[in-house]
Structures are given as structure tokens and as C-alpha cells.
Amino acid sequence: ETGVTQSPTHLIKTRGQQVTLRCSSQSGHNTVSWYQQALGQGPQFIFQYYREEENGRGNFPPRFSGLQFPNYSSELNVNALELDDSALYLCASSQKGLAFGEQFFGPGTRLTVL
């Protein structure tokens, strides 16, 4: 069984730039959720993708967008980067329809915005 993978591991960008983060879900899972974790805080829900469509969104501006592909992998795109976007970005995969929908996290992408 393949676990959740994310790329890249680390990324440094400057304000105003755009970034794309990638996530491959665990085998057998059809749902990907994205979270942002600032230093010293718990993860905050950005959005979830299921069947290639956004299935719920947290309190994040539209410059945060995503995609899900037929193989269930997903991308998170952030436009017009701001300093406060510096954080650990986590994706979590799960199987919708599974009784309790446990979510399993990937290793994360550490984004630094200068």
C-alpha cells in the first residue's frame, strides 16, 4: 500500500509569485483535503476535492485554488503570494464512503515566502 506523497518538500518564493503544490493520495483513496499549518498552530482546512470537484472550502481567499485528477492526485495553487502564506501545507487522503473517513496526512510542503 502506497502512502500519501507530496512534492516539493520545501519551496522558497517571493511575494506576488505563484506556487503549485502536488499531492498523490494513498492507494484506494478517492478524496484529498488540503490544510495549512502555520508555526505553532493546528492545521487549518483549506478545501477538499472529491470526484475532481471541490467539495467544501474553509475560510481561505479565492487565490487559493485546487484541482483533482482522474487518478485522485491533487494540486494546490496559490496566486499572489503573501508573507502570511508561509506555512506547512499538508494534504490528507481519505476514502469517502468509508465509515469514519479517517484522513491520512502526507509529509507536507514547507513554503517560505520572502
Partner 1 sequence: QKEVEQNSGPLSVPEGAIASLNCTYSDRGSQSFFWYRQYSGKSPELIMFIYSNGDKEDGRFTAQLNKASQYVSLLIRDSQPSDSATYLCAPMTGANSKLTFGKGITLSVRP
Residues forming the site for partner 1 (CB under 8 A) = 31, 33, 35, 40-45, 48, 50, 55-56, 58, 88, 90, 92, 94, 96, 100-108
Nearer Cβ to partner 1 (8/101): 101
**Shortest separation between residue 55's beta carbon and partner 1, angstroms:** 5
Residue burial 37-65, b: 16+ Cβ < 10 Å; e: rest: beeeeebeebbbbbeeeeeeeeebeeebb
Nearer Cβ to partner 1 (2/79): 2
